Structure 1
Amino acid sequence: MKALRWSTALFCWPAALLFLVSVPVAQAQQSVAPPPEILSTVTPKDVHTRAKLHTELGSLYFQNGNVIVALEELTIAISINPNYAQAYSTRGLVLYQIKEYVSAEKDFQRALDLDAKDPQINNNYGWFLCHTGKEKESIAYFQRAIKEPLYQTPEVAYLNAGACYARIGELDLADESIRTTLRYMPDNPQALYQLAYISYKRGNFDAAKEHLKKVIRLSNPDAEALWLFLRVERRLGNNMDVDSLTAQLRRQFPDSPQYQDYLKGNFE
């Protein structure tokens, strides 16, 4: 489920989830709220500035894999300014990662209640829906983000929409969205991976291989990319390459779902 503007413009890169340690959300919330007497002394401008700062800190901690501190910072932001939509949207992503899906949904809904037109919030919520079994519902939120003229990173929503279209087998729409992303970012490895996946699903294994070769050249492949490459080479009958990719998958990602699928022979 990398290019990380995790809180504001989440890219969808397969198996790019950071290693996260679950922490009870209620515990985090109880431990970090500033004293009421401090809140009562700040001006509205100070409230916004401080909430924004803590949200940005939370996003950075999240990007670096420190979920506990990320939750603390985001909860501080919300305690300072309960009407700061970006803090809820960012915390929703963090809560998703620790599988607190109900709490994440509440945070996203609160963010949308506060700022329904914000393209970053719509993109983040669409990503959340796409990764919680509501792929068809997610598309509308990506489209809302894309249509917002002030959205500074529409390529992000195009990429996420394309990946979600691919999940539900809408390969033509997926291809169109991903190629739009590549017009903004020609060498984006996430988009190239998605093109490889689309080509694989269409049975165009040579094209899939070419896209994956670019992915390997531009980035360190994760388990998902290696697994797709292995299956492509298997389809092409390149047994030596299959063996090499299998060894790499086993060495680097022995506990991954992809390697477990390999052990079970679940190639599709």
Structure 2
Amino acid sequence: MLLAMPACSLFDSRGDKVEAADTQLQLGVRYMSMDKLAIAKQHLERSVDLNSKNVEAHNALAFLYEKLNDEESARESYEYALKLDAEDLSVLNNFGRFLCERGEYQEGMAYLEKAVRSPLNNRQWLAATNAGRCALTQKKSTMAEAYLRQALQRQPNYAPALQAMQKLSYQNGDYWAAKGFYERYSNVSRQSAEALWYAYQTERALGNQEIAERYKSQLMESFPLAEETQRIYSTQEKLKHGK
């Protein structure tokens, strides 16, 4: 009986650590959603300390490191998560997007395509949208449209896919389609600087100057520090000085 006690105690200890790690993970994700990143970081790092084999915790921690602009730590956490489970759909999606956003298109698309193709993926529109956006960044319009329409077929009101289709349609010169996608986007999401920028440019292209000016004003008032707003100021300065 005495010999059995240490094994039983060890088992209970491991179970307690896993449970504690899960609690820390839940707290970290909750604080991250509240944008309390420093507190979220403490909880998520504690979670992986308690249970280093929890893929979900490493994935969440990697995403947090992205928010903190700690690119090296984010990459390491994503890579470690994939070592634990090379088929984890959330990690494939997040790491694929991460790589694409940093210009590592070939590897990023490989991960995203793997997530899109998986028959076990019940949130396939997330990876399809990220693949579409990655293709759009590479100016592969046909591929981008195929992925984005695939995403919208699964989730018609998914705002990131609608906004990406607005941008793609504008760049292809299909201004009425761009207008339509922007209207759909506006019905389901808060405004973004990029969406307002393309709405402004679209209405200018369609000759609707009054509507265009309204979008421009909204962009400048709501997002005064955005890159899109700075483009407007730059253009105004050039016009003022006759350049």
- TM-score band by shorter chain is 0.7 to 0.9
How many Å apart are 1:172 and its aligned residue?
Answer: 0.9
Residue of structure 2 equivalent to 1:205: 175
TM-score normalised to the size of structure 1?
0.79
For 2:97 and 2:26, how far apart are their aligned partners in 1? 20
For 1:253 and 1:42, how far apart are their aligned partners in 2? 53
SS of residue matched to 1:83: coil
TM-score normalised to the size of structure 2?
0.87
Deviating beyond 6 angstroms after TM superposition, the runs of 4 or more aligned structure 1 residues are: none
Q: Is the 8 A contact 1:93 1:128 kept in 2?
A: no
Q: Residues 192-213 of structure 1: CA distance to partner in whole angstroms, max 9, x if unpaired?
A: 1111111111111111011101
Answering whether residue 138 of structure 2 is matched by residue 156 of structure 1, we say no
Name the aligned partner's letter for residue 213 of structure 2: D
Answering whether residue 45 of structure 2 is matched by residue 82 of structure 1, we say no
Identity %, equivalent residues: 28
Residue of structure 2 equivalent to 1:137: 107
SS of residue matched to 1:151: coil
Gaps of 5+ in 1: 1-39
How many Å apart are 1:162 and its aligned residue?
Answer: 0.9
Gaps of 5+ in 2: 1-9, 237-243
Residue of structure 1 equivalent to 2:185: 215
How many Å apart are 1:265 and its aligned residue?
Answer: 2.7
Q: Which shows bigger deviation, 178-187 or 145-154?
A: 145-154
How many Å apart are 1:110 and its aligned residue?
Answer: 0.9
Residue of structure 1 equivalent to 2:197: 227
Q: Is the 8 A contact 1:253 1:259 kept in 2?
A: yes
For 1:167 and 1:71, how far apart are their aligned partners in 2? 31
How many Å apart are 1:140 and its aligned residue?
Answer: 0.6
Give 1:1-268 correspondences, 5 Å limit.
43-265=13-235
Q: Is the 8 A contact 1:92 1:107 kept in 2?
A: yes
SS of residue matched to 1:262: helix
For 1:56 and 1:149, how far apart are their aligned partners in 2? 27
Greater radius of gyration (CA): 2
Name the aligned partner's letter for residue 114 of structure 1: L
For 2:122 and 2:109, how far apart are their aligned partners in 1? 19
Task: Name the structure where helix makes up a greater proportion of residues.
Answer: 2
How many Å apart are 1:41 and its aligned residue?
Answer: 8.4
Instruction: Identify which of structures 1 and 2 has the higher relative contact order when contacts are C-alpha pairs closer than 8 Å and 6+ apart.
Output: 1
CA RMSD of aligned residues (A): 1.8
How many Å apart are 1:136 and its aligned residue?
Answer: 3.0
